Each structure stands twice: as structure tokens, then as C-alpha cells.
Chains A and B, each alone.
Chain A
Amino acid sequence: MNERIKKKGAVDSGTASSLIRLEQVGKSYGSRKVLSEISLSLDRGESLILRGGNGSGKSTLLKIVAGIIPASSGRIHRSSKQLQTGYAPDRLPKLRMTSEEYLIHMGRIAGMPTAALTTRIEELHELLELPAHSPSLLIHYSKGMLQKVNLMQACLLRPALLLLDEPFSGLDTASSEKLLTLLHGLRAEGTAVITALHDPLPSWESVSTTYRIREGQLILEEPNTDEASNSGSVRYELDGLLTEKARERLAVAFPRVDWTAAGNAVRCGIPSEDCHAFMRDFWQAEGIVLSLNRKEGEV
């Protein structure tokens, strides 16, 4: 599960057998160009992370890939006209339905057989720890609970292509881990996943290709190159609590991590490529994470 997929050397146009392939896709609203000359391809079981600031065009690109909005220029090739696509928007509106009613409607609209639909709804509720037969309407749900329902509707059919817009927004730590388990499982079954993300997510990043949208262009983030690590262009800053003994051991294991310590309180500057392994060892050493922030362009 943790094996890193082969990173693309450049934003390529993919192969003819790709699940979906974008060629020089652009999107403009009037004179405002949101995306320009986006080319990428996605195969089965591949995952891709989109990063970028607010309004950079992440959601727009997801909608274009989903076929929800048309591109202004360029071409989109899908492996099949009936490519099964799941899409979770950044937030679900509060409907006057229970989560079960809502998912039954979505499943029926998608043409799922009743028995399979019922089983799948139970399974997803159990996995994301939401009561399946709750009489509460979605209008009474918290942001995190709504987000779970949103993710459930996107994953209902085990889609070939799953598009998630800020899927971890509003989820607590336990739910985030459950979602990660679900995503890893779907990916292992061959679902290609595109995720628009703001916050760092080492476990998902380690199996994903990360792109950044900057000024409408799609730029591949390559944390493994020497250039990236030498320039320190992507680092993580962790504030946490860790015993002195564990700190000494981790400092030896990760010589490129910068440490600032006061008693058990520590601040670590972690190179992006060490982040996944470091975090695993940090938690194994019973460290407590107070915050973890992604830093760019800082030495």
C-alpha cells in the first residue's frame, strides 16, 4: 500500500489506454483565464493530488474532468463514454432527507439493484462510522457528518474514476483515517482518484502524484528530486511533544530534519520526502502532534 507509484517526469499526455486523458485543456470565464494548456492522464489505480491556493482552479479542473462543465479549449479523451465517475463536491447542501433516503435515491438514479444498494449503504455507513438508519435529516447534520454523506454518495458505485474536492474538510482525525482506508481500498481495486487538497496528508501523498495549479498552469511537484530537497522548496513544520530520548533517536534516523526543542516541546522542519517515514516513527515513539503545516519556498 505504501509503495510509491511511478512519478511522471513531466505533465505528459498519457497513453491511449488511459482511463482519462486531457490534452491542452483550458478554461476561461469571459476574459479571465482560469486554466490553460492542462495536459495529464490517469490510469486505473492511479491517484493524483491537486494543490493550489483559493481560486486557483482546482475545483474547475475537477468539474471539467467529471464532465460537469465543458472546457473552453483542448480535448478530453475518456476510455469509455459510460466511464463510471464518482464526484464529491466541496460541500453537500443540507437536504430534508435522512442519509439513508438520500443515498437510496442516488443509488437508484445510478441504476443500482436494490439489494446491492442496501448492502453498500450499510457498508459505507459502518466504514465512516455514521448510523445507517438514523431518522435525523441532513439539515440537522454537522459539517463533518454531511461530508461523510457526501463521500458516501461519491463512492456508492465503486467508480472507476473518483473525484474529491477537499474530502477531508470538516472530518475529525478518526474519520480522516477511515476515509484514507476507504480510498486506499478503492485504489487497490483499480479506482483512479483525483483529490483537491489544501492540508498535508503524507499517507495519501506517498501513493499519489502531486500537481500544483499556479496561474492556470499545472505544475508537477517532485519532492524526490535533489533540486527540491536542496532548495527546501517543500517542507513540513511540525509542532509537538516528544520525550528527549525519542528525540535523540529520531535525530539520528533523520539527519535532515531541523530541531528546535524546549523540554518535551519540539518544532521540526521536515523535508517533504522524509515526512511520511518521519511521521510514522514520530507516532511510534508516542509523540503528540500539535500542528503540522506545509511550507513552501522557505529554506
Chain B
Amino acid sequence: MIALLQYLHRCFMRSYRYGAPSFIYLAILILIYSSAPNPVMGSYAFSSSLLFVAAAAIGCLVMDVEAANQEMATLLHARSLVRLSGAKLLYAWIFASALGLFAVIYPALLGRLERFPYMEELGMASLYHISLAGLGVSLAGWFTVKLFESRLYAVLILCTWLALAFGAGGIGNALPEGWSWMTYILPPLQLTLHALTFYDELGTGGKWLPVGAALVYAAISAALLLWTLHRRRLDYPGE
């Protein structure tokens, strides 16, 4: 697995595919924190939702970082598509988590917040960012050329799915009575945003629930994705 992660890191770095999502993400953060002071957890709510989108973009790019022919050769060396695809998801998660940690530490260290965050706040904010990074990556893995004939359609459907995740609360309210359970199918992004917005009013369970929900959702999504890829192998729909 370490050998695969090293290889993917070299491929991703030298492909410069990380450039656009990372640059846009970092630029928005720097722009937002150019004015101070900012509320502590409210700021982290914004940066975690931004990271969720950036992680999805990074997940898409990492999953398709290899050309089809190279992926076949790598698969034969790795001897398992689950291992290879799992390594890609893991690498994308690590990369997106690093961006998330930057979003937590940068404003704190540079004094862009209304006060220096408590250690507990820093720790929980880091966990919220890391869990949402995993959630974004695990969703993005589904929307690549491995499962969609057209990259454009894949990206459009991913954007729709991300938008639905942001609007889950409103969708739940708009649904007829008895149908609100449908919002549980959507990624639990709103739980994290709610916890960060109302952080001081929540008990311990309420603070940890979003982390657990995001990680469980991401794990189920990733496991289903790997199972699907294992069944299809590299039989791309475009062929």
C-alpha cells in the first residue's frame, strides 16, 4: 500500500492536476481571512464546506490520474483493483485532509479569528475537516470515467449530488410528511455545518455525531464503490 501511495503521489504531483482545486481553495481561504476578526467555529463551518467541494474535485482527479493503459499495467503489478482503487481513495483523502488542516491552523496562527481557539476547538475542527474530506472523496470516486461514459456527465451529476448535500435540510423540510427519511440517503454534510455553527450549544454526543456520521457514510460509499469496481474491473463504459 505504501508503494502504491508513493507512486500515486509522484503521478499526482507531476501531473499538476492538484493545481486548480488546491489553488482555488487556498485563494478563497486567503481572501476570506484577509479581513479580521472572524468567528472561530463559524469560520471553520465555511472552510469545511469549501473543503468538502475541493475534496470531491481532488477525488475525481486522483481516481483518473492514470491513463487507461497505465492503469492496466499498474493493476497487474498491484494484483488487485480493490487495492489500487483503495490506495487512490486513501491518497485523495490524505491530500484533502492536509488542505483541511491548513484551513484550521492558518487563521489561528495568523490571528485572523476573533480569539485564539481552544485546543478542543482546534481538535474538533480538524476532525470535522478530515471527516468531510473523506466524505467528499468517497462520493467523487463514483463520478469518474470508470463508471460514466462521459466525463462531463460525471462531473455534472457529482455537482448535483454535492448541491443536494448542501440543501439536505431544506429538502427535508419541503418533503411531504413521512418522507423526510429520504434525506438520510444524502451525504450528512448538514450535520457538520450545524455542529460548527451551534458548537457551544451542543453536548458531547452532538459534537461527535457529525464526525461519526460522515465517516460511516464515507466508509459505506467507499466500500460499495470498491465492490462495484471489483465486479466491473477496468471495463470502461466508453469502450
Considering only residues 81-120 of chain A, those with a C-beta below 8 Å from chain B are 82, 85-93, 95-97, 101, 105-111
B197 contacts chain A at the CB level, 8 A cutoff:
no
Q: Number of A residues contacting the other chain (C-beta, 8 Å)?
A: 33
- Cα A96 to Cα B15 in complex, Å, equals 7
A67 contacts chain B at the CB level, 8 A cutoff:
yes
Considering only residues 202-239 of chain B, those with a C-beta below 8 Å from chain A are 231-235, 239
| Cβ-neighbour of B69 out of A69, A90, A105 (below 8 A) | A90
A223-242 vs B, Cβ < 8 Å mask (1 yes, 0 no): 00000000000000000000
Considering only residues 65-117 of chain B, those with a C-beta below 8 Å from chain A are 66-67, 69-70, 72-79
A108 touches B6 (CB 8 A): yes
Considering only residues 3-49 of chain B, those with a C-beta below 8 Å from chain A are 3-4, 6-7, 10-11, 14-15
The interface centre, meaning the residue of B6, B70, B73, B74 with most chain A CB atoms within 10 A of its CB, is B73
B70 touches A93 (CB 8 A): yes
A68 contacts chain B at the CB level, 8 A cutoff:
yes
With both chains docked as a complex, state the minimum distance between the C-beta of A208 and any C-beta of chain B, in angstroms: 22
A87 touches B73 (CB 8 A): yes
- Cα A154 to Cα B70 in complex, Å, equals 11
B3 touches A109 (CB 8 A): yes
Residues of A contacting B78 in the complex (Cβ-Cβ under 8 angstroms) = 109-110
A157-168 vs B, Cβ < 8 Å mask (1 yes, 0 no): 100000000000
A106 touches B14 (CB 8 A): no
| Cβ-neighbour of B76 out of A87, A97, A107 (below 8 A) | A87
Given contacts A93-B70, A95-B11, contact A105 B3 (CB under 8 A): yes
- Cα A63 to Cα B90 in complex, Å, equals 27
With both chains docked as a complex, state the minimum distance between the C-beta of A168 and any C-beta of chain B, in angstroms: 17
User: Chain B residue with minimal CB distance to A34?
Assistant: B239
Residues of A contacting B234 in the complex (Cβ-Cβ under 8 angstroms) = 63, 68-69
Residues of A contacting B232 in the complex (Cβ-Cβ under 8 angstroms) = 70
Considering only residues 55-78 of chain A, those with a C-beta below 8 Å from chain B are 63, 66-70
Given contacts A67-B233, A69-B235, A96-B15, contact A105 B10 (CB under 8 A): yes
Residues of A contacting B66 in the complex (Cβ-Cβ under 8 angstroms) = 93
A97 touches B10 (CB 8 A): yes
A29 touches B239 (CB 8 A): yes
- Cα A108 to Cα B9 in complex, Å, equals 14
Residues of B contacting A70 in the complex (Cβ-Cβ under 8 angstroms) = 231-233, 235
Given contacts A69-B233, A108-B3, contact A101 B10 (CB under 8 A): yes
- Cα A69 to Cα B234 in complex, Å, equals 5
- Cα A70 to Cα B232 in complex, Å, equals 7
Given contacts A68-B234, A69-B235, A82-B79, contact A106 B11 (CB under 8 A): no
- Cα A92 to Cα B73 in complex, Å, equals 9
Residues of A contacting B235 in the complex (Cβ-Cβ under 8 angstroms) = 69-70
The interface centre, meaning the residue of B67, B74, B234, B235 with most chain A CB atoms within 10 A of its CB, is B235
Residues of B contacting A153 in the complex (Cβ-Cβ under 8 angstroms) = 73, 77
- Cα A95 to Cα B69 in complex, Å, equals 12
With both chains docked as a complex, state the minimum distance between the C-beta of A102 and any C-beta of chain B, in angstroms: 9
- Cα A86 to Cα B77 in complex, Å, equals 8
Residues of A contacting B4 in the complex (Cβ-Cβ under 8 angstroms) = 109
- Cα A153 to Cα B74 in complex, Å, equals 9
| Cβ-neighbour of B70 out of A29, A67, A69, A92 (below 8 A) | A92
Considering only residues 150-168 of chain B, those with a C-beta below 8 Å from chain A are none
A105 touches B7 (CB 8 A): yes
With both chains docked as a complex, state the minimum distance between the C-beta of A184 and any C-beta of chain B, in angstroms: 22
A63 touches B11 (CB 8 A): no
List 19 other contacts, CB 8 Å, given A63-B72, A70-B233, A93-B67: A29-B239, A63-B234, A67-B233, A68-B234, A70-B232, A87-B72, A89-B73, A90-B69, A91-B69, A93-B69, A97-B10, A105-B7, A106-B73, A108-B3, A109-B74, A109-B77, A109-B78, A110-B79, A157-B77
8 CB < 8 A contacts A-B: A70-B233, A85-B76, A87-B73, A89-B72, A93-B67, A97-B10, A108-B6, A109-B74
A interface residues, Cβ below 8 angstroms from B: 29, 63, 66-70, 82, 85-93, 95-97, 101, 105-111, 150, 153-154, 156-157
